[in-house]
Amino acid sequence: MIFILLTFLTAFLTWYFWAVGRRPKNFPPGPPGIPIFGNALQLGKYNYKTVLAFREKYGDIIGLRMGTHWTVYLNNPDDIREAFSKPEFSGRTGFHMLMDTTVEELNSGLAFSHGERYEHDDPQMQDLMQILDEFFDSIMKGIRPFYFIFPGLLRFKKILSFVSGDTSDKFRKRLFEFFGKVIEEHRRTMQVGQPRDFIDALLEESGKLRDFQEIDLYTTLMDLFIGGTETTSTTLVWSFFFLAQHPETQEKLANEILTVVGNRDVMLSDKLRLPYVEATILEIMRLSHIAPNAAPHAVTQDLIFKGFYLPKNTVVLPNFYAGLMSTEIWGDPDNFRPERFLTPDGKSLVRNKAWMPFGVGKRSCLGESLARDEIFLFLTNLVQQVRVSMPDDEPLHSFEGILNGGTLTPEPHRIIFNNRI
């Protein structure tokens, strides 16, 4: 009896993995995978680089099987623009790629600012920063990466979290408790027609929407926190990392700021008159490429793209890294050279279609303009006041970066800030 059962089970599993692993007809090409995992174990942590190696053999559009689902990597910036201009490419997978962080700049945040700022030693602020730190730290550990490969495991999340010691749900709960207090405070004090901030506006609008539920309020705030904190702070960390290693760029930046703006605070209205600053920010974001694969998209229906068949729910990953670091496009992509974004007279910006660190299309970054303004203001006002350098005994650091959760950060390093004047 046991023998028959085992034979039946083996036959069933063999059939199942054969059926699941069989590449759909006309699906984009890619390397063969192994049973159960497909190509998931071939990619490694730095998947955006691994797929570039596959591109040599299979072309710009690569199809892989990641556990139970099919995934397509788009490596050509033109293909990414074309695909993401179509609504069918704007689905999301059920599970979000979350990031790990230390968060410093929340006190000027979108959701919680109503004219006043939280001081760094404000207990509420410190509580929030600690929860966020711990939350981000926990989200890509233990069992969690497996959910990307086998989303079906999410059905057993409670038990798996318990067994693997996954703590991210605990921190999410604490974060939601924090949001709960702030939302209640807003509800109590808001006046209809006079929104003080994003939460007031959201509360007011939510009253008009029939399908809107309380949980939507929490997840919207969560999206903004996750999308908007680590990303901007990491970009600023990269900024000082690059500038400390490129004093000549730093001096040009400072000269432009001091000549055009002088010693008063730099404001957003100065932006258009500071092309070198703008070019430097574009170059910082190109070379740091903090979100090399963005967040996974999913196609919402069966479709044909560039002659390839993509079944509904195929995960689509734009490989921004391929465009941002392409030798064909930039000539010397590994060099930090803001001048590449300027006309020869240095007066105007030169745009490049491969520059898309915020993504493109309907699902591109919701916070792009806020992030660009924040980076501009922090960078200019700091460079105006201080000179950044590395200690003499600091080893040379590569610009490759380290992938922490979803974002790429510089290698740990020391920085010295000296007053400019």
- Site residues (vs ligand HEM, CB under 6 A): 110, 223-224, 227-228, 231-232, 235, 290-291, 294-295, 297, 357-359, 363-367, 370-371
**Would you say 110 or 258 has its CB closer to ligand HEM?**
110
Nearest to 168 by CA among 137, 128, 129: 137
| Cα 137 to Cα 99, 101, 187, 337, 401, distances in angstroms | 8, 7, 31, 33, 18
Question: Does residue 122 contact residue 62 with C-beta atoms inside 8 Å?
Answer: no
> Closest distance between ligand HEM and the C-beta of residue 262, in Å?
28
> Closest distance between ligand HEM and the C-beta of residue 315, in Å?
11
For residue 326, how many other CB atoms are within 10 A of its CB?
Answer: 16
Angle at Cα 42 formed by Cα 322 and Cα 320, nearest 5°?
Answer: 15
φ and ψ of 281, to 5 deg? -65, -40
For residue 364, how many other CB atoms are within 10 A of its CB?
Answer: 13
> Closest distance between ligand HEM and the C-beta of residue 354, in Å?
14
> Closest distance between ligand HEM and the C-beta of residue 231, in Å?
3
**Would you say 33 or 357 has its CB closer to ligand HEM?**
357
**Would you say 28 or 292 has its CB closer to ligand HEM?**
292
**Would you say 160 or 382 has its CB closer to ligand HEM?**
382
How far apart are alpha carbons 184 and 190 in whole angstroms?
Answer: 10
How far apart are alpha carbons 125 and 135 in whole angstroms?
Answer: 15
**Would you say 143 or 366 has its CB closer to ligand HEM?**
366
Nearest to 231 by CA among 323, 368, 378: 368
Residue closest to ligand HEM when measured from CB atoms: 367
> Closest distance between ligand HEM and the C-beta of residue 408, in Å?
10
**Would you say 185 or 223 has its CB closer to ligand HEM?**
223
> Closest distance between ligand HEM and the C-beta of residue 114, in Å?
16
> Closest distance between ligand HEM and the C-beta of residue 19, in Å?
30
**Would you say 21 or 361 has its CB closer to ligand HEM?**
361
Cα-atom radius of gyration of the chain, to the nearest Å?
24
How far apart are alpha carbons 235 and 97 in whole angstroms?
Answer: 18
